[in-house]
Amino acid sequence: MADNKYLRQLSVQFPTAHAAAAEIINLSSVLNLPKGTEHFISDIHGEYDSFQHVLRNASGSIAKKIEDEFGDELTRAEKRTFATLIYYPEEKIELIEATCPDFSAWCKRMLFLLIRMTRRTAFKYNRTKLKRALSPDYEYIIEELLTERAEVSDKEAYYNGIIDAILETESAKSFIIVFCRLIQHLAIDRLHILGDIFDRGPNPHLVMDRLQTYHSVDVQWGNHDIEWMGAACGSALCEASVVRICLRYGNLSLLEEGYGINLIPLVTFAMNEYRDDPSTLFAVSEREDIDGATLAKMHKAITVIQLKLEGRLSARRPEFSMQGRIFLDKIDYDRGIVRIDGREYPLLDTSFPTVDREHPYELTEGEKKVCEKLRTAFLASEKLQRHVEFLFARGSMFRVYNGNLLYHGCVPLNRDGSFKAAIIGGEEVRGKALYEALERWARKGRYSKDKAEKEYGLDVMYFIWSNEKSPLYGKDKMTTFERYFLKDELAKQEEKNPYYAFIEREETVKKIFDEFGIDFQTGHIINGHIPVKKKKGESPVHCNGKVIIIDGGFSAPYQKVTGIAGYTLVFDSRLLKIVAHEPFVSIGEAIATECDIRSEVEIITKTEGRLKVADTDRGREMQERIADLKDLIAAYKAGLIREHQG
């Protein structure tokens, strides 16, 4: 029996045996409902339109439900129109209203179709959960429309009466929109984001806005996310890296307009210190308000600042083993070469106007001011701080959910398949302990009041972003310097961690399962990070379905390599299936032409019967709650706790 102190606390919520019994009945009924659908998305990289569409169509699940519900009752064209209406109700209604000769009749038909579709989508939910998904303004009427009333003899007349009243009060458009949003909501019970919301694409801030309003979501941090998180917490290195990547991919508007980061100090510094430097290798897409030459100088200036800050971090944290990744002290400035791993490489750019050859990692006064101004701007961005707070609240380095292990990158392995160790906070850690130590220190970088702890936590965030021992990076090096300054393609190569070779070996995968407490018979590892090159024959599914990598190229720059535009994973009460998506053109075209993203489905596992809520983590929590409530009832009956009758 639960201890008396806990039962007394529980009695505040359930003051009588009758109230406790009612809750037991309610929870027991939920346990027998089918398991809700989980939706997994990875490596969004700021591609908001594609992300938004996949979210709205639930990776094709809604189109499948339309097919199951209506079969031959609707033509193929009618199903496309109906699906587009569900995905984009406001926009589609506007188009229909402008062209339909009898808009009222169309609204009436759509309402009846939406009622049926909502009933099919809602069958996994009890009335309490359904009510939580409804706006209070529409709750009563929608409940009436969705409820099969046995006591009503003429059901058709009853429902017709309600819908006629909706039409007469000119509320049809509002109700259609509410039904469409409700179907989208019910189609996905839980959304899992497996990292890399940020960088490359133009609109990660819009993705974050959407996630903040989503009904049920968790985030496994990606290395690009932690880079932005570190920047928002005050890491000068992360800030320099964020600005550099935004310049590289032509996304300065994200910083300036999306998050209000003032870049004028960088512009001024670059034009002064690099005024005679053509910065040809740093050319980026031109903008109307900033010419290409200025952008190139900004790009080079922030890159050199980052290289200096990396050198300082290497000296400050020797345990991070970064000595082989710093280069400004390895340059022969007179000969224009750099020594890397005992080999000399000619530099493509030999102009370093802000580098002191004797003290190459010292920041100039101008560079210090740029870093200070950037730090102030990142810390003062209310929107960025709100987004990062959400990532800390809903996010983690890894998560075990319903028997599956979720993370972004990899579990770092040595070449012999053993867990790779790192020294974090003075402690040697590997495997699960490495994930836990890195998350603990990242949170200290955000929340610690101790200055030394906070500074170490900020440095750990940069470690997570780019270090070979980081589970979120998963390569032997990040070749930032080589990609800018060297011609040799071999020098630019980044070798994947041995994890990606070992995931075909059952003994290694089982070792990872055991390390994180996952049942090898029923569980899966689900991760993203490394794009799956489908066009070259690579598969996202490994080790007989035990490991699934779902980065297929949401980000447009990756699509020419992967051959597709992203994978998503769907886990419902019957199936675990991976969905490969073709490129998404635009929301406007999807609405106008009623074209959905073309997707290819591969079933990974299929259960003999439906999984129920009782089979999930939530179900196990509910069963524990039921046991506690039974103890409370027993305590009431034994007189150990008195009932509160009001």
The single residue listed with the structure tokens 């609240």 is 393
Q: 213-250 in b/e burial notation, b at 16+ Cβ within 10 A?
A: eeeebbbbbbbbbbbbbbbbbbbbbbbbbbbbbbbbbe
Percentages (nearest 5) of helix, strand, coil residues in the chain: 55, 10, 35
Q: For 213-291, where are the alpha helices, taking DSSP H only?
A: 223-233, 236-248, 252-253, 264-273
Q: Per-residue pLDDT averaged across 488-504, rounded? A: 94
Confidence (pLDDT) at 284: 87
Q: Give the C-alpha separation, 182 to 145, whole Å.
A: 13
Collapse the DSSP code of 571 into the 3-class scheme (helix H, G, I; strand E, B; otherwise coil) and give the result. strand
Contact status, residue 643 vs residue 19, Cβ threshold 8 Å: no
* pLDDT reading at 143 higher than 90: no
Class of residue 465 by CB neighbours under 10 A (exposed 0-12, middle 13-18, buried 19+): buried
The pLDDT tens digits of the residues spanning 423-445 come to 999 999 999 999 999 999 999 99
Tokens of 370: 């740029």
Note the residue count of the chain: 646
Contact status, residue 542 vs residue 504, Cβ threshold 8 Å: yes
Q: Give the C-alpha separation, 17 to 181, whole Å.
A: 39
Contact status, residue 238 vs residue 462, Cβ threshold 8 Å: yes
Class of residue 275 by CB neighbours under 10 A (exposed 0-12, middle 13-18, buried 19+): exposed
The pLDDT tens digits of the residues spanning 582-595 come to 777 777 877 877 77
- Could you tell me the pLDDT band of residue 1, with boundaries at 50, 70 and 90? low
Tokens of 422: 């790192």
At residue 497, what is the residue type?
N
Percentage with pLDDT > 90 across the chain: 75
Tokens of 637: 């009956």
Q: Any idea what DSSP says for residue 254?
A: I
Between the two ends of the chain, the Cα-to-Cα distance in Å is 26
What is the full DSSP assignment across 302-333? HHHHHHHHHHHHHHH-GGG--GGG--GGGEET
Angle at 258 between CA 252 and CA 260, to 5 degrees: 85
Contact status, residue 414 vs residue 420, Cβ threshold 8 Å: yes
Q: Give the number of other Cβ atoms within 10 Å of residue 514's Cβ.
A: 13
Crossing angle of the two packed helices 172-187 and 89-99, in degrees rounded to 10 = 140
Taking the CA atoms of residue 535, residue 546, residue 621 and residue 38 in that order, the dihedral angle to the nearest 10 degrees is 20
Q: Give the C-alpha separation, 325 to 316, whole Å.
A: 14
The pLDDT tens digits of the residues spanning 594-625 come to 777 666 778 888 888 899 999 999 999 999 99
Contact status, residue 404 vs residue 525, Cβ threshold 8 Å: yes
Q: Per-residue pLDDT averaged across 504-522, rounded? A: 96
* pLDDT reading at 288 higher than 70: no
Q: How far is CA 193 from the centre of its chain?
A: 3
Flag the least confident range among 69-83, 423-437, 443-457.
Answer: 69-83
Confidence (pTM): 0.93
Confidence (pLDDT) at 148: 65
Angle at 466 between CA 461 and CA 471, to 5 degrees: 80
- Could you tell me the pLDDT band of residue 5, with boundaries at 50, 70 and 90? confident
**Host H or E run for residue 434:** helix 431-447
Q: Give the number of other Cβ atoms within 10 Å of residue 515's Cβ.
A: 16
320: Cβ–Cβ under 8 A, 6 or more apart, which residues? 313, 314, 459, 463, 467
| Positive/negative CA dihedral, 627, 631, 637, 643 | negative
Contact status, residue 201 vs residue 44, Cβ threshold 8 Å: yes
Collapse the DSSP code of 102 into the 3-class scheme (helix H, G, I; strand E, B; otherwise coil) and give the result. coil
Going by C-alpha positions, the residue among 340, 333, 253, 353 that lies closest to residue 295 is 253
Q: What is the widest separation between alpha-carbon atoms in the chain?
A: 95
Q: Give the C-alpha separation, 136 to 174, whole Å.
A: 13
* pLDDT reading at 505 higher than 60: yes
422-424 vs 395-396, strand pairing mode = unpaired
- Average of per-residue pLDDT values in the chain: 91
Q: Give the number of other Cβ atoms within 10 Å of residue 355's Cβ.
A: 19
| Positive/negative CA dihedral, 274, 279, 284, 288 | positive
Contact status, residue 443 vs residue 457, Cβ threshold 8 Å: yes
Contact status, residue 241 vs residue 306, Cβ threshold 8 Å: yes
Q: Give the CA distances from residue 410 to residues 101, 233, 387, 481, in Å, rounded to whole numbers and listed in that order.
A: 57, 25, 25, 24
Q: Give the C-alpha separation, 461 to 441, whole Å.
A: 8
Q: For 71-121, where are the alpha helices, taking DSSP H only?
A: 76-87, 89-99, 103-121
Confidence (pLDDT) at 393: 97
Q: Any idea what DSSP says for residue 364?
A: P
Going by C-alpha positions, the residue among 488, 466, 484, 483 that lies closest to residue 475 is 466
The pLDDT tens digits of the residues spanning 155-197 come to 678 778 888 999 999 999 999 999 999 999 999 999 999 999 9
Confidence (pLDDT) at 151: 53
The pLDDT tens digits of the residues spanning 454-478 come to 999 999 999 999 999 999 999 999 9
Confidence (pLDDT) at 564: 59
Tokens of 357: 């050859």
Confidence (pLDDT) at 352: 97
Percentage with pLDDT > 70 across the chain: 94
| Count of H-run helices and E-run strands, the chain | 28, 17
Going by C-alpha positions, the residue among 363, 343, 350, 308 that lies closest to residue 485 is 350
The dihedrals phi and psi of 529, each to the nearest 5 degrees, come to 85, -55
The pLDDT tens digits of the residues spanning 337-383 come to 999 988 999 999 999 999 999 999 999 999 999 999 999 999 999 99
